[in-house]
Chain A
Amino acid sequence: MVLSNSPITFWAGYAKFKSNIRPSSRVSPPPSGPLPSVPIAVGCRSLVFELQHTVQLRSSVPPMADASAQQSSRSRDLDKLLLRPGHLVGPAFEPGTELRDDLQEYARILVVGAGGLGCELLKDLALSGFRNLEVIDMDRIEVSNLNRQFLFRLEDVGKPKAEVAAKRVMERVSGVNIVPHFCRIEEKELEFYSEFSIIVLGLDSIEARSYINAVACGFLEYDNNDNPREETMKPMVDGGTEGFKGHARVILPGTTPCFECTIWLFPPQVKFPLCTLAETPRTAAHCIEYAHLIKWDEAHIGKTFDPDNPEHMQWVYSEAAKRAELFGIPGVTYTLTQGVVKNIIPAIASTNAIISAACALETLKIASGCSKTLSNYLTYNGVEGLHTKVTEFVRDKDCLVCGPGIFIELDTSVTLKMFIDQLEDHPKLLMSGASVSYRGKNLYLKAPPVLEEMTRSNLSIPLLNLMDKSPNGIVHVTGTAGKGDKRQSCSRKLRVSFKGVGGITDTDMAGGA
Chain B
Amino acid sequence: MLIIFLSRQALYTTITMIRLFKVKEKQKEEAKNATGNGPFKKQSAGELRLHKDITELNLPKSCTISFPSGKDNLMTFEITIKPDEGYYMGGKFLFTFNVCGIYPHEAPKVKCKTKVYHPNIDLEGNVCLNILREDWKPVLNINTIVYGLYHLFTEPNHEDPLNHEAADVLRDNPKVFASKVRTAMAGGRVGDTFFTKCI
Where the two chains meet, the residues of A that have a C-beta atom closer than 8 Å to any C-beta of B are 40, 43-44, 46-47, 88, 90-94, 99, 102-103, 105-108, 189-191, 194, 197-198, 206-207, 210-211, 214-215, 218, 230-231, 233, 235, 250, 252, 255-256, 260, 263-264, 266, 268-275, 278-279, 293-294, 297-298, 354, 358, 361, 366-369, 371-376, 378, 388, 390, 400-401, 435, 437, 439-442, 445-448, 450-451, 454-455, 470, 476, 478-479, 489-491, 509, 512-513
Contact = CB atoms under 8 A, between A and B. Distances in A.
13 contacts: A108-B21, A191-B39, A250-B10, A273-B128, A278-B128, A278-B162, A279-B160, A294-B122, A371-B9, A372-B11, A375-B11, A478-B52, A489-B56
Q: Which 6 A-B pairs have the closest CB atoms?
A: A375-B10, A43-B1, A369-B16, A372-B9, A440-B41, A92-B16
B188 interface: no
B19 A263 contact: no
B49 A491 contact: yes
A190 B43 CA distance: 13
B151 interface: no
Interface in B13-38: 13-25, 36-37
B101 A210 contact: yes
A513 B43 contact: yes
Contacts of A442: 51, 71-72, 74
B17 A293 contact: no
B35 to A, nearest CB: 10
A160 B9 CA distance: 38
Contacts of B107: 271
B67 A367 contact: no
Given A197-B21, A214-B44, A271-B134, A88 B51 contact: no
Interface residues of B, number: 75
Given A274-B128, A390-B8, A450-B67, A279 B22 contact: no
B186 interface: no
A106 B41 contact: no
B59 A448 contact: yes
B101 A440 contact: no
Contacts of B46: 210
A445 B42 CA distance: 19
Contacts of B22: 102, 105-106
A106 B5 contact: no
Given A105-B22, A476-B51, 4 more contacts: A252-B15, A268-B136, A275-B161, A278-B122
Contacts of B57: 447-448
A197 B46 CA distance: 27
Interface in B85-111: 100-102, 105-107
Nearest to A103: B18
B48 A491 contact: yes
A261 to B, nearest CB: 10
Contact of A440 (B13, B65, B72): B72
B67 A210 contact: no
Given A376-B10, A476-B48, A435 B43 contact: no
Contact of A445 (B4, B23, B41, B71): B71
A340 to B, nearest CB: 15
Contacts of A294: 122, 124, 126, 162
A298 B48 CA distance: 35
Contact of B160 (A91, A206, A273): A273
A361 B43 CA distance: 32
A70 to B, nearest CB: 23
A106 B25 contact: yes
Contact of A293 (B71, B120, B126, B161): B126
A102 B105 CA distance: 41
A272 B9 contact: no
Nearest to B43: A440
Given A273-B130, A442-B71, A447-B56, A190 B39 contact: yes
Given A268-B136, A294-B126, A401-B45, A448 B9 contact: no
Contact of A207 (B37, B102, B164): B102
A47 B124 contact: no
A206 B128 contact: no
Nearest to B3: A43
Nearest to B135: A273
A491 B13 contact: no
Contacts of A374: 5, 8-10
A103 B17 CA distance: 10
Given A278-B162, A279-B164, A388-B1, A92 B15 contact: yes
Nearest to A298: B124
B103 to A, nearest CB: 10
Which of B37, B57, B123 has the most chain A CB atoms inside 10 A of its CB? B37
Which of A107, A272, A278, A368 has the most chain B CB atoms inside 10 A of its CB? A278
Which of A256, A298, A388, A437 has the most chain B CB atoms inside 10 A of its CB? A437
B66 interface: yes
A372 B13 contact: yes
B59 A207 contact: no
Contact of B6 (A88, A235, A252): A88
Nearest to B39: A189
Contacts of A91: 13-14, 16
Contact of B10 (A264, A298, A372): A372
A207 B101 contact: yes
B112 interface: no
A478 B100 contact: no
B17 A235 contact: yes
A490 B53 CA distance: 10
Contacts of B191: none
Nearest to B101: A207
Nearest to A255: B13
A106 B24 CA distance: 9
B55 A435 contact: yes
